Amino acid sequence: MAEIKAQPFAFPFRRQEIALVVIDMQRDFAEPGGFGASLGNDVGRITRIVPDVKRLIQGFRDAGLPVIHTMECHRPDLSDLPVAKRNRGKPSLRIGDEGPMGRILIAGEPGTAILPELAPIDGEVVIEKPGKGAFYATELGNVLREKGITQLVLAGVTTEVCVQTTMREANDRGYECLLCEQATESYFPEFKEAAITMIRAQGAIVGWTADIDDILETISHA
């Protein structure tokens, strides 16, 4: 069996059962004027990982492996948005408000879109999720079962919130999860570091983490 060099130990790579899940690489989280910026965050931290996320996506495409994208967003009537979530963080722009790129985190609005450099291509699944985790109130579980997927490589933002939440949801459902360290980011570097430590602690209790080059090396030769 092929392996991907990882921490805390090698990840057992099964080519027919693996997919890349790219979490929430959206304009609202990465561009000035979006929801991330309205919370006072330095969105430049997110845009810096775009080249590595793009390289990881292309590596999976070149290897003929599935790529799945997620977008955090809500219905225009806000029927799937809890009041507690809308009010959280005291942002200058709340979810559903009009912003520079349309209504904040609303399905179909320009700011909700995935960054153009990372846009899905024909045939790639896009999951619209109303929560932090990609399994909550979505069809992701069904999609993975239909494709025979048991292993997930994860990338995207933010490491400690939507990415880690999705990994924990996947872990509880029996998936083996590998986080690409260069292809994920937080607005707070110390949060990213802490999340990575938690994920791979106690013998990969939540999942593994790996360098992008080690992931691409294995999938390109397997």
Mean pLDDT of the chain: 96
pLDDT score, position 33: 85
Q: Report whether pLDDT(92) > 90.
A: no
Catalytic option among 52, 73, 132, 162? 162
**Structure confidence by residue, pLDDT tens digits, 109-141:** 999 999 999 999 999 999 999 999 999 999 999
Judge whether 129 counts as a catalytic residue. Answer: yes
222 pLDDT band, cuts 50/70/90, is confident
Q: Would you say residue 38 has pLDDT above 90?
A: no
pTM beyond cutoff 0.85: yes
**Does residue 24 carry a catalytic annotation?**
yes
pLDDT value of residue 191: 98
User: What tens digit of pLDDT does each residue of 44-88 get?
Assistant: 999 999 999 999 999 999 999 999 999 999 999 999 999 999 988
Sign of the CA dihedral running 165, 171, 172, 174? positive
Contact criterion met (CB below 8 Å) for 46 and 30 = yes
73 classed as catalytic = no
Q: Tell me, what's the pLDDT at 206?
A: 98
Model confidence over 156-214: pLDDT tens digits?
A: 999 999 999 999 999 999 999 999 999 999 999 999 999 999 999 999 999 999 999 99
Opening angle at CA 113, ends 58 and 157, nearest 5: 65
pLDDT score for 140: 98
> Annotated catalytic residue: which of 28, 52, 73, 129?
129
Give me the phi and psi of 192, to 5 degrees please.
-60, -50
Q: Are 36 and 185 in contact (CB under 8 A)?
A: no
Q: Residue 99, CB half-sphere, CA atoms under 13 Å: how many?
A: 28
